[in-house]
Amino acid sequence: MNNTLSINIKIDNRVYPLVVSRTDEKWYRDAAKELNEIIHTFRSDYPDKDSQDVIAMAAFQVVFQHLREKEEANQLPLINDLKEIRDDVTDFLEERKQ
């Protein structure tokens, strides 16, 4: 069975043909839907801007959010390590009380 699929993604009323993995199809469609929602918001907020400006602002927002989430994800292992250390110290102190 072929693991790829040809789909058409519509972004800002333009159609883009893509060949994607069947397992990733939903991600592509969801990404296009979310991007179109952001573009629509910018177009409503800035009706005097042309398509290039609106798409650039939408792209900037998406990348900005991605970087923030990436930074938060990078901090998660550190947070988990700190919680383990806190638990170890708490256990140690509890043992010393007894």
Structure confidence at residue 9 (pLDDT): 97
- Is the pLDDT reported for residue 74 higher than 80? no
Give residue 88's pLDDT band: very low, low, confident or very high (50, 70, 90). confident
Is the whole-model pTM more than 0.85?
Answer: no
Q: How far is CA 28 from CA 9, 17, 21, 41, 62, in A?
A: 8, 11, 10, 20, 14
pLDDT one-digit tens code per residue, 47-71 = 999 999 999 999 999 999 999 988 8
